[in-house]
Amino acid sequence: MRIDDRWVLLGGVRYDQAETDNRNLTAGTTQRSDDDQVSWSGGAMYLGENGVNPYISYTESFDPLGRVDDAGDLYEPREGRQWEAGVKVAPFGWDGYVTAALFDLEESNTLVNSPAGFQVQEGKRTSQGFELEGVGYLTDALKVTAAYTYTDSRLEDDDRAPLIPRHQASTWLDYAFTGGALNGVTLGGGVRYVGSTVDTSVADNTEVDSYTLLDAMVGYEFADGWQAQLNVNNLTDKEYVASCEYWCYYGESRSVIGSVKYSW
C-alpha cells in the first residue's frame, strides 16, 4: 500500500502445515508428526524528497526438518524471526544507489553437531550485524557493485556459532561495449572474500581460515531481447576448506555455466 506518495507499507500472513512420516525399515518403526504455523511479515518505508528512504521490516519463518535425531526421534520444526532497519539512498541525478541495514535474527530449535558427530537441537541461535551495498555507474559503460556484511552469530550458551563468518565482502565490475566490433558484448569480473569461521564441536573451537575467490563472466546480446552468457565461478580453481563443524567441507571448485535468456 502506498500512502500520500511518501509511505510504502507491506504486510503478509502465511499458513504452513507439514505432515511427516519417517520410516526406519531396519527397525520397523515409524515416527510421525503434524506441524502447523502462522507466520507474519510486514514493513514500512518512507520515500524522502532527497532520495533518502529509511525503512523497517519484520519477518517470521517456519522450517519443518523431517529428519530424526540419534535416538530416532523427529526434530522439532525450526522457527525464526528477523527485524531489519535501514536506509536506501538513491540521489536524484545519480545512476545508482547505496543501502545500509542493521539486522537482528533469532532461530529456535537450532541444530548443532555434538562432539560425537551427530546433530542435536539446542535452544536458540541469534545473529546481529549490518550490511552495506552500493551499485553505480562509474561511466556510461562501467558499472560497479560492492557489498560488505558483518555478522555476529551466537548459540544459546553465547559461544560463537559455527559455519557463519563474521566478515564477508565482494566487488564486481561490468563493462558493456556499445560500439565497434564488440558491440553487444559485456565483460565482468569480481572478487569474493569470506572471513574465517569456527568449529565449535571440538574443545578448542578450531578456526577455519578465510578465503578469497575470483569470478568472471562474458555476455553477448546477439538479437533484440536475446542474450547468451558464460559465467565462471572460482576462476583459478582454488582448493580451500569452506567450513568445519565436526566434519570439514571443501569449497566448490571451478564451475562454468552457460545460459541463454530472452527478455520482453
Query: Does 149 score more than 90 pLDDT?
Result: yes
Residue type, 220: Y
pLDDT band at 25 (very low <50, low <70, confident <90, very high): confident
> Can you say whether residue 35 is alpha, beta or left, with left for phi > 0 and alpha for psi between -120 and 50 degrees?
beta
Report yes or no on whether pTM surpasses 0.75: yes
Least confident of 28-32, 140-144, 190-194: 28-32
- Mean pLDDT, range 212-227, rounded to an integer: 94
Give CA separation, 3 vs 7, 9, 17, 47, 169, in Å: 5, 8, 34, 10, 36
- Mean pLDDT, range 141-154, rounded to an integer: 97
- Please tell me which residue, 238 or 155, carries the higher pLDDT value: 238
Q: Which of 23, 120, 32 is nearest to 74 (CA)?
A: 32
Residue 186 · residue 175 · CB < 8 Å: yes
How far apart are alpha carbons 190 and 207 in whole angstroms?
A: 26
pLDDT single digits (tens) 69-96? 877 788 889 999 999 999 999 988 888 9
